[in-house]
């Protein structure tokens, strides 16, 4: 599973205009500062983890030993209260969910689907056909075509309703090893059972987790 980590993942520019992100901008919890910034930052970090694991959006590298909130906080070097509240918010918005295999990004496969070789070939063929038609039209209008080579490579671009932005996953920091090794180290030293209980109660009170 880990050997199939993605080098990049899709991040749609329409995300910023989506209803969930509009709600994110207005989210507040008394006694919890900068919730919006924390939500935006952890969302990007969770997407990156899902790309590293590359298993239907799950965040745990070993689904037999799913990550809990404390494990995610440990790996991301964040406070467990912060992680618990963010997870509760994402679950409430339908962006994330949890089952016996741990937390996962909802609709990961749908939004991260890559073109098959056949789809890439067809897209490339259509792009070249359109290029030749434009070239033929410009020559008919009096352009000699001297500036155009006979052997032209056209890089096709997939145009969807949403525009894709490629986000690199930095492999130089041994992300895969970090994911594997972080499990079993325990919660950060400054996190107590009472802290976790308080964060869970906040999440339940705010979003009915």
**Which range among 28-32, 91-95, 101-105, 138-142 shows the weakest confidence by mean pLDDT?**
138-142
Tell me: do 133 and 37 sit in the same domain: no
Tell me: do 131 and 153 sit in the same domain: yes
Residue with tokens 């298993």: 55
The pLDDT tens digits of the residues spanning 46-89 come to: 999 999 998 999 999 998 999 999 999 999 999 999 999 999 99
**pLDDT given for residue 70 in this prediction:** 95
Tell me: do 101 and 39 sit in the same domain: yes
* Range(s) of the domain holding residue 143: 116-157
**pLDDT given for residue 127 in this prediction:** 81
Q: Which contiguous run of DSSP H or E holds residue 198?
A: helix 193-207
> 10 has which bridge partners?
166
Tell me: do 42 and 123 sit in the same domain: no
Q: Which two tokens stand for residue 140?
A: 């008919």
The residue ranges of DSSP E strands in 47-198, in sequence order, are 96-99, 102-105, 164-168
Burial code (b: 16+ CB inside 10 Å, e: under 16) for 61-91 equals bbbeebbbbbbbbbbbebbbbbbbbbbbbbb
More confident residue, 97 or 200: 97
Tell me: do 37 and 130 sit in the same domain: no
Q: Structural domain tally of the chain? A: 2
């Amino acid at each position: 599973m880990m050997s199939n980590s993605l080098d990049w993942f899709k991040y749609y520019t329409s995300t910023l205009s989506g209803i969930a992100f509009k709600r994110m901008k207005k989210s507040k919890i008394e006694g919890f500062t900068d919730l919006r910034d924390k939500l935006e930052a952890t969302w990007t970090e969770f997407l990156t983890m899902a790309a590293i694991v590359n298993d239907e959006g799950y965040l745990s590298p070993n689904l037999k030993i799913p990550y809990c909130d404390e494990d995610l906080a440990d790996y991301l070097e964040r406070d467990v209260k912060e992680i618990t509240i963010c997870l509760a918010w994402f679950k409430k918005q339908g962006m994330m969910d949890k089952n016996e295999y741990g937390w996962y990004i909802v609709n990961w496969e749908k939004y991260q689907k890559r073109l098959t070789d056949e789809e890439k070939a067809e897209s490339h063929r259509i792009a070249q056909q359109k290029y030749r038609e434009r070239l033929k039209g410009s020559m008919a209008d009096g352009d000699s075509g001297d500036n155009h080579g006979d052997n032209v490579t056209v890089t096709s671009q997939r145009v969807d309703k949403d525009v894709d932005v490629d986000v690199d996953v930095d492999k130089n920091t041994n992300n895969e090893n970090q994911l594997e090794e972080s499990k079993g180290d325990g919660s950060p030293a400054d996190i107590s059972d009472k802290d976790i209980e308080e964060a869970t109660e906040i999440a339940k009170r705010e979003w009915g987790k």
